Structure 1
Amino acid sequence: MSSFQALRFHERGDVRLDKVTPLPCGSDEVRIRTAFCGVCGTDLKEYTAGPIMVPSPDTPRAQTGASLPVILGHEFSGTVTEVGSGNSNFKPGDRVAVKPNMADAQLGTPACSMCEGGKSNLCTSTAYYGLDALSGGFSEQAVVKTSNIFKLPDSVSLELGALVEPLSVAWHMVHSSGFQPGQDALVLGAGPIGLGLLLVLKVIGARRVIVSEVLEKRSAQAVAFGADTVINPTSTSDPTKGSSSSNPVVREAQEMTPGNLGVHVSFDASGLQATLDTAIAATRPGGTIFNVAIHSKSLLINPNDLLFLEKKFTAGIAYTAEDYSAVISALEKNADFAEKAKKMITSVVPLEDAVEKAFKGLLEKKEDHIKILVRGSRD
C-alpha cells in the first residue's frame, strides 16, 4: 500500500481524512490493519478546543517526533499484518487490542522512578498513540510497539477489543481506589467511563452500586447494566429512614447503607462542583472519594469535610499492562460482562463519515450515544 487513509487533527475544528504514507515497521513493532476505534471525550476536546495534548508544529513531541497534523484515536483494535524482525510473540492474523500509552521502555529513554516502581502509567515521558505519536486508531493501518498489543481470545470480538481501553480505565480506577468485594459504591455520571465503572464494580463483587445521572437514556442503560439504584440528582423527595440530607443522591447513599453511613467509595466521573460536593457528602467516615474525571476548570474543596471524618480524596489516570490483561480475561471468562460491555456500542460508522457521524454526532446528540466506534479498514 503506497498510502492509506487516516483521520488527522490539523487545528481546532479541523479534523479531516488525509492520505498518509505508511510508516516502516521496526524490529520491536507490528503493523496492524485497524478494525475499530472508539471516539473518546479526549478526541472531542482536541477537536473543539485543541491542541491540548497534541503537540504543535513548533514543539514536536521529542520522544516520538509527532506534531500537527496527527492521527487521532487511541481506543482501537485490529489484526496484525506485519511483524518486526525482533518479534517472536505475534504473527500475521493475530487479533489484538492496542494499549495506547507508551512509557520509557517503549520510547527508548532511561527508566524513570515511576517505571522502575511498576507504575508505567505515571511515566514522566508518557506518550499516546492517537495523540502525540505517529500512529493512531482512526486510520486504515497503524504501526505500534509489540509491547503495546494484547491478543484477543477467540470469544472476544474486535468490536469488544476497541472497548478494552475505556474498560481498562475503569478497572484501574476501581482497583486503585482500594474498593473491596462486598462494599458499596456511588458512581457519579453514566457516560462511557461511568458505565465502565459500574460494570467493573459488579464483576468484582460490589454489594450495591448507586449511579447518579441526569440523562434519561444513560440512566436506563445504567439500570440495564445492573445498577442497584439510579438517581436523578435534580429530583426531589422527602427524606426517609433517618437521612436528613436534601440532596437526593446523598440521601439514597445513606438510606441504602447500614447505619446510614454512606458508601465506601464514591467515583466522580463527571468532574463538576456539584458532583464533587455530592461525592464527599455521600461517602462514609473513613471512606474514599475517587476522582476519575478530567476537569475543564478548578473546583473548590473544604479540607474540613475530609478531615473530621477521615475521608480520603484521591485520583487515578490511565492503566497498566496488568489492567489490560485483567479486562481481556474478564471479557473472555464472564459472558455477562462481555454482553453488557458490547451494549455500550451505540453506533458504528465508517472512517470516511467519522467527523459528521461520530464527532459531531456525539457533540450534538450526546444523549443518544454512549460509545461510537469508527470502522478502520474496509477489508
Structure 2
Amino acid sequence: MKAVVCHQNELTLEDVSHLTPSQGQTLLEVVRCGICGSDLHMQHSCDHMHELTAKVGLKGVAKSTDRFVMGHEFCGRVLDYGPKTRKKFKIDTLVCAMPLLKVDQWCYQATGLSPQASGGYAEQILVQSQLMFAVPNGLHPDLAAMTEPMAVALHAVRRSRIKKSEPAIVIGCGPVGLGVILMLKAIGVKKIIASDFSPNRRRLAQLCGADVVIDPKQSSPFESWKEYGLLGDASEAINYGIGIFEKIQSMHIPWWHAWRVADKLGALPKRPVIFECVGMPGILQQIINGAPLFSKIIGVGVCMQSDSIEPALALNKEIEIQFVIGYTPLEFRDALHMIAEGQIDCSPLITGVVGLAGVKDAFQALGDPEQHAKILVDPKKIGSDISAL
C-alpha cells in the first residue's frame, strides 16, 4: 500500500507492506486524516519527543532513525477484523478511532507517533476495536476527521472548569485555539476574547465564535479587565475584599457564615480563564505579566523548548497554572457527536485537502498562517496540489 514515511526528518511517499489486524484490532481504509501541529514537531524533533515521552512512561515513540508513518486525526471505513475480534460494525462503516494501538499484552502505542502503530498518512490503518466509534448522522468525512483535535479542545475546556460567566481569553488562534473557541461557545461562555498576530487567524476566530478579536501588535488582550469586572491591581483587590468584609459584618448572622454564602453565590470577584494555545517559549511569562489577579492559565499549546517564568509575580497575582493533554474516551465520543449534531461547526478550520503525494508540500504550507489552518489528507486524491474546500 502507499504511505508517507518519515525517516531522518524527511517525508517520502513509498510502497509499504499491507497491514494485517491482530486479535482486538480492526483494519480501516483511511478516508481522511488531518495534519496536526504535533506532526510538524515530530518531523524535525522526534528524538526530543522520544526522550520527553519516555520520562512519563510512554514507550515506543519514534526516533529519527526509525521509519514510521504519522497521522492520528483520521476517519476510515471498516475493511476487516482481526481473529477472535467482535465485529463491532459492519464492513464499510465509516468510523473514527482513538489513536492508540495495543501491540502486546501490556503496551499501547500512540498511533502515528510509533513505528509499531502506523498512522493515517496511508491507504490503510490499524485501530483498536474497542476504541472505534461509528460516525453518526451521515457526517461528511472531512468533518469526522476533526473529531480528534476537537476532543483535545473539549478536554482543555472541561479541565479548566470555566463558568459561563467567566471571561475566556484565548492566546493563539491556530487549530488548537480555534478548537478551544468552538468548545467555549458550545458550552455557553458569554465572553470569549481571542488574540493572534495573524489577520487570517483572527478572521477564523470570529467565524468560530470569538466575541472580541485582538491584534497584540495594537493592544493587549488583558487591557479591558475592568470592563469585565476583574481585578488587576492589588490595592484595589484589598479594598474590594475589606469592603465586602465590612458589609458582611453588618448582617445579623455570624460573618463567617455570610462569607461562605457570598462565596457560593459568586459575590467575590470573577477570574478570567486564559488558554495558552501558542506553545512557544516566553508566552507563558507574557501572560503572567499581563493577566489580571486570580487568573487561571490553561496550557494547551505544546512548547517543545525549555522556558522560564517569574514565580513570584504569579504568586503575587495568585495565578493558577494548569497544563492539559489528550482526552478521555467519553470526550472523544462527545466531540464526534457535537460535530455531527451541529453543536459546533469546525468547517472554517479546514482550508485544504491534499493527496498522499502532496503531504510534504502541505507540511511546508502550514508554516504560513495566512494561507492555511488545517489541511486534510485524502489518500485517494491524485497529484500533489492542495485543493481548497
TM-score (norm. length: structure 2): 0.80
Match of residue 317, structure 1, among 302, 312, 325: 325
In the TM superposition, residue 314 of structure 1 has moved relative to its aligned partner by 1.1
Residues 110-189 of structure 1 mapped to structure 2, 5 A cutoff: 110=106, 127-132=109-114, 133-189=116-172
State the 1:142 CA deviation. 0.9
Q: 2:31 aligns with which of 29, 35, 50?
A: 35
Indicate conservation of the 8 Å contact 1:77/1:161, yes or no. yes
- Tell me the distance in 1 between the aligned counterparts of 2:123 and 2:147: 19
Counterpart residue identity of residue 359, structure 2: A
> In 2, distance between residues paired with 1:256 and 1:34?
49
Q: Deviations over 1:247-294 (max 9, x none)?
A: x22203x14311455752101011235532343345454331111111
Of 368, 372, 375 in structure 1, the residue corresponding to residue 375 of structure 2 is 372
**Residue 323 (structure 2) pairs with residue 351 (structure 1):** no
- Helix, strand or coil at the partner of 2:155: helix
Secondary structure of 1:258 counterpart: coil
1:40 & 1:196 partners in 2: Cα distance? 12
Structure 2 matches for 1:1-379, cutoff 5 A?
Answer: 4-12=1-9, 14-53=10-49, 68-84=66-82, 85-102=84-101, 106-110=102-106, 127-132=109-114, 133-236=116-219, 248-252=220-224, 254-260=225-231, 263-281=271-289, 283-333=291-341, 335=342, 337=344, 340-356=345-361, 358-363=362-367, 365-377=368-380
Cα distance in structure 2, aligned partners of 1:180 and 1:259: 14
Unaligned runs of 5+ residues in structure 1 are: 56-60, 111-124, 237-247
Residues 227, 181 of structure 1: alpha-carbon distance in 2 compared, 3 angstrom cutoff: same
Query: Contact between 2:3 and 2:121, CA under 8 Å: does it hold in 1?
Result: yes
Deviating more after overlay: 185-194 vs 312-321 = 312-321
Structure 2 residues not aligned, in runs of 5+: 52-57, 233-269, 383-389
Structure 1 residues 256 and 108, CA, compared in 2 at 3 Å: closer, same or farther?
A: farther
Give the Cα–Cα distance (whole angstroms) in 2 for the partners of residues 201 and 353 of structure 1: 33
Amino acid at match of 1:148: L
Question: One-letter code of the match for 2:209?
Answer: G
User: What is the deviation of 1:109?
Assistant: 4.8
Q: Secondary structure at the match of 2:79?
A: strand
1:279 is paired with a residue of what secondary structure? Answer: helix
RMSD, aligned α-carbons: 2.5
- Residues 81-118 of structure 1, C-alpha deviations (whole Å, 9 max, x = no match): 1122322322211111121135xxx35455xxxxxxxx
Separation (CA, whole Å) in 2 of partners of 1:271 and 1:136: 24
Deviation for aligned residue 1:63: 6.3
Deviation of 1:148 (Å): 2.7
2: CA distance between counterparts of 1:151 and 1:282? Answer: 44
Structure 1 residues 276-328: Cα deviation after superposition (integer angstroms, max 9, x where no partner): 23433454543311111111322222222232343211101111211101101
Aligned to 1:121: none
Q: CA deviation at 1:31?
A: 0.6
Checking the alignment, whether the CA contact within 8 Å between 1:31 and 1:142 is kept in structure 2 is: yes
Residues 42/154 of structure 1: CA separation in 2 closer, same or farther (3 Å cut) = same
1-structure distance, mates of 2:45, 2:59: 23
User: Contact 2:271–2:294 at 8 Å: present in 1 too?
Assistant: no
Structure 2 Cα separation of the partners of residues 54 and 362 of structure 1: 23
Per-residue CA deviation, residues 52-93 of structure 1 (Å, 9 max, x unaligned), is: 4469xxxxx976999721011111111111122322322211
Residues 1:286 and 1:259: Cα distance change in structure 2 (over 3 Å)? closer
Distance 1:144 1:54, change over 3 A: farther
**Which residue type is aligned with residue 197 of structure 2?**
V
3-state SS in 2 of match to 1:71: coil
Residues 54 and 131, structure 1, Cα contact 8 Å, conserved in 2: no
Percent identity, aligned pairs only, is 28
Q: Which SS does the other structure have where 1:348 is aligned?
A: strand
Is 44-53 or 287-296 further displaced after alignment? 44-53
- The question of whether the paired residues in 2 share the 8 Å contact of 1:29 and 1:87 is answered with no
**Kept in 1: contact 2:122–2:379 (CA 8 A):** yes
Q: Which amino acid aligns with 1:43?
A: D
